[in-house]
Amino acid sequence: MGQLLHDFRNLNGTKDLGYSALTLSRDTQIGELRSSVRFPIKLPVAVKQNNQHHNAETGDISAGGVLLYVDANMAVGSAIEFSIAMPAAVLGSSADVQVSCQGRVVRSFKDDGRQAVAAVIDEYKFERLEAQEESAAAAK
């Protein structure tokens, strides 16, 4: 997580990486207790809930959860699975990383007319996309 934090702090002033990255901030409103720093980054997400697939985009990501803008209503308490392709430039790695997560919806609300869902991440797995591409090429 330290390297990720370092890379996010150094994104300002770098070349356009093809996705949105904003200045790192932490919400300090009274009544909100968060144990992880949130990274405001917008990435496409594939979400699965009750065997239905939905398109979504991240609003922000932390070690413990994610804010998603999704094309469907999702009930608080419902289980979801989602995958995010994290760009190598953000992570400071040589290849993009696929993060596959299992979580639960903890909040559902409208944000400027868009459906937003806050989800806690219960389990996650990292997989280098380079390795997936090599496996697919070897299978051909």
Summarize pLDDT for 10-36 with one digit per residue, the tens: 443 333 333 333 333 334 343 344 567
pTM value is 0.67
Residue 70 pLDDT level (bands cut at 50, 70, 90): very high
Q: Measured on CA atoms in the order 26, 62, 51, 76, is the torsion positive or negative?
A: negative
Span 94-103, average pLDDT: 92
Residue 89: pLDDT band by 50, 70, 90 thresholds?
Answer: confident
pLDDT of 104 over the 80 cut: yes
Supply the mean pLDDT for the chain: 76
Fold of 2-139: Thrombin, subunit H (2.40.10)
Domain coordinates in residue numbering, the chain: 2-139
> What span, in angstroms and rounded, lies between the C-alpha atoms of 42 and 34?
20
CB atoms within 10 A of CB 83: 16
Among 129, 68, 138, smallest CA distance to 103 is for: 68
Residue 18 backbone phi and psi in degrees, to 5: 85, 10
